[in-house]
Amino acid sequence: MTLCICLFACTAVASAQTVTVDYLLAKVVSEPDTVPYTLTADFSTRLNMTLSTGVVPIHAVGTLVETRAANGSPRVRKATITRLDLPLLVRPFAGSIRGILTGIIENEQRVGEFVPTLDIFIDEDRGDGRYVLGAVRQDIITEVMTKYNQQALLKDQTARRAFAKWLFAPSQRQQIVRPGSPYAVRTVIDDAGVVHQLTLFYDWGHVGSRLTFVTIAGRPFWREVTSDLSSEITGLGRVYGTMVLQVTNHCYNCRPR
């Protein structure tokens, strides 16, 4: 009975949305403006890295180049660190730390990469043009629906999203914790498909990013990014931390902003 009530209630909430989850996902995975461009900027980043001995502050500055070479080609970022300030304790690991920082900047995790493997729903309409999307891995939803003898609904997208929303709730989430790729995802996007926050849930914890933008020639570019860090460094083991990246002196096609 509880499950049936959940399915009815979740479906009713979804149908009341003036903006559908499919509309938002189409915005996220598409590139509405594919005109070639080059953006250069300066960045400054501070990483507070947590070790067994305490928190170690790391500071770096450098340059960022973001390009799209041709219509339809993917956006590419290149980060060059020109100065890296490290405490004495972690200077032997400078190469690994430099690689971690540039990797976070260059290899942005995008919601579109996860869409094919998730059952996604609108968790909240914030009323300011932004929406909170929740998602659970499809294999987990299939497993749970089978457990509750709902095999007849396995290909029903509305039912799968209702199950995902039910299981994503904090009171139920322990049922879906699994190893491997993120078992759940939470993101905040606007009605233009711009991602403002992304959180990935793993069996060992969660990591996420929070982003603010500057708009240049109608395009959003990073102004500040706060990212959680979890990485393995040989000699240090798994390290955690929070990185704050500030981007300034944007120059779009050599026109300074």
Q: Which helix (H) or strand (E) holds 59?
A: strand 54-68
What is the per-residue pLDDT for 3? 47
Q: Cβ contacts of residue 236 below 8 Å, gap of 6+?
A: 51, 90, 93
Number of H helices, E strands in the chain: 6, 11
pLDDT digits (tens, 9 = 90+) for 109-168: 777 788 899 999 999 999 899 999 999 999 999 999 999 999 999 999 999 999 999 999
Query: Burial code of 61-90, b = ≥16 C-beta within 10 A, e = fewer?
Result: ebebebebeeeeeeeeeebebeebebeeeb
Domain range for 188 is 2-256
**SS3 label, residue 27:** helix
Interval 203-220 mean pLDDT:
92
What is the per-residue pLDDT for 243? 94
What is the per-residue pLDDT for 113? 81
What is the per-residue pLDDT for 257? 62
pLDDT digits (tens, 9 = 90+) for 56-112: 999 999 999 999 888 777 889 999 999 999 999 899 999 999 999 999 899 887 777
pLDDT at 14 over 50: no
What is the per-residue pLDDT for 32? 64
- The whole-model pTM stands at 0.83
Q: Provide the number of structural domains found in the chain.
A: 1
